[in-house]
A and B are shown apart, each in its own frame.
Chain A
Amino acid sequence: MQQVTNLASSAESSADVVSRASRGDTVAFEDLYRQHVGRVYGLCLRMTGHPESAEDLTQDTFVNAWRSLPGYEGRSSFSTWLHRIAVNAVLAKRRSPQGRNEISMTDDAGDQMDFEAHATLDDATPIDVERAIAGLPQGARDIVVLHGIYGYSHEEAAGMLGVAVGTCKAQLHRARHLMRARMGSENAT
């Protein structure tokens, strides 16, 4: 019973922080930043593979969230709302001339598997799931990150990425195939 009370209190407290930030309280917004920065940065890093780009995008995400927060109506959880803003920031960066060069780590065929994302991982360790995901082509990697790691449904991930649900499912199928092949070949050596 105490646990239930604590959970309710925690939810109320978080809602209060969001509400205060929405009214312009930067201290409350910093609280939200501290609570969510790890997830936002993790998402950006996994989608881009570039720590520096991920830092820039994390900053953009929180600045955009600050701008849009007065209009946040709580229809989705705050963290989901924030993640959507982060995904939009990543997609916008990819569309930019700078982003096309900086973030395009692999072509859509997935032929260019060697990119900077590996620099964030320990090269001495055998290939693991994280590295296998980082080596996926962009479209397949996006869906594994959103669906596989962060637990969004195909419908939610499709909505975030602006693609059809069927495309998400096909990309996931492709991703699983590529990951199995890569991890299998690495383990065999």
Chain B
Amino acid sequence: MNTIPFGPRNPPEDPLLAKAAELPKEIEPAHDLWPGIAARLSEAPRESRTRTFNWPAALAAGFVVASVSALLTWGLLRDSGPAAPVQIAATQAEDTAIVPVNYGPNSGITANELVVRDELLAQFREKFGQLKPETRDAIVKNLAVMQKAADEIDAALAKDPASGMLKGFLVGTYKQELQLYSSVVTAGDGLARRI
């Protein structure tokens, strides 16, 4: 362990950044926050020291995400022939099964990224009811796998928030989720055109 103080490694050349670097790093809150924190510590479950991140499981989850997503894309393209039934009426009922991935407090996924995801998700929901039941089941299962991966990675990030590799895994899961929605939206467009 070390406690090397952080601060600019090199003096910034830009005068504005140089001034920013001179600003006080510490600002004391108006109140002593310790009593509130102390009161919450007894209720905060601590992680086990011996608990380690399950890398094989996370890697497997990431692989499954990638594989299922790719298979789904292929399946959607294959299924999107003229004979594919349009099940608009099923949209509302099946839509409830769709739960987007919930990224935990350590994920670092930004509000803007969630806005992008939610916009794509809205388009995805419009197409979802047009899919075959087995395809819809595959999507729901795929999202569950992504959620499991996101949960595991988030828990690991709580222990090691500095890990670029974990962040990479999480960003990968986010991209897979977008890819899943995008695949359906794109395939759905093809379906609509054929009909």
On A, residues with C-beta under 8 Å from B are 11, 14-15, 18-19, 22, 24, 26, 29-30, 33-34, 37-39, 41-42, 45, 51, 54-55, 58-59, 62-64, 66-81, 83-85, 87-89, 91-92, 94-95, 99-100, 104, 108, 129-130, 132-133, 139, 144, 147-153, 159-163, 176, 179-180, 183
| Cβ–Cβ contact B16 & A129, under 8 A | yes
Q: Could you tell me the distance in whole angstroms from the C-beta of B173 to the nearest C-beta in chain A?
A: 12
Complex CA–CA separation, A119 to B100 (angstroms): 38
* Chain B contacts for A91, CB-based, 8 A: 107-111
Q: A51-B30, A67-B47 are in contact. Are A74 and B158 (CB under 8 A)?
A: no
| Cβ–Cβ contact A24 & B46, under 8 A | yes
Complex CA–CA separation, A54 to B28 (angstroms): 11
* Chain A contacts for B36, CB-based, 8 A: 59
* Chain A contacts for B33, CB-based, 8 A: 33, 37, 41, 55, 58-59, 62
| Cβ–Cβ contact A149 & B21, under 8 A | yes
Secondary structure class of chain B's binding surface, majority of residues: loop
Residues of B1-24 at the interface with A, using a CB-CB cut-off of 8 Å, are 1-9, 12, 14, 16-17, 19-21, 23-24
| Cβ–Cβ contact A130 & B45, under 8 A | no
B48: interface (CB < 8 Å): yes
| Cβ–Cβ contact B161 & A88, under 8 A | yes
Write the chain B residue with the least CB distance to A30: B34
| Cβ–Cβ contact B46 & A70, under 8 A | yes
Complex CA–CA separation, A88 to B33 (angstroms): 19
| Cβ–Cβ contact B9 & A66, under 8 A | no
| Cβ–Cβ contact A68 & B158, under 8 A | yes
Complex CA–CA separation, A159 to B7 (angstroms): 17
- Name the residue among B33, B159, B161 with the largest chain A CB count within 10 angstroms: B161
A11-B3, A176-B17 known; 5 new pairs, CB 8 Å cut-off, are A42-B25, A92-B104, A92-B107, A150-B6, A161-B110
- Name the residue among B26, B29, B110 with the largest chain A CB count within 10 angstroms: B29
B127: interface (CB < 8 Å): no
| Cβ–Cβ contact A81 & B162, under 8 A | yes
| Cβ–Cβ contact B23 & A159, under 8 A | no
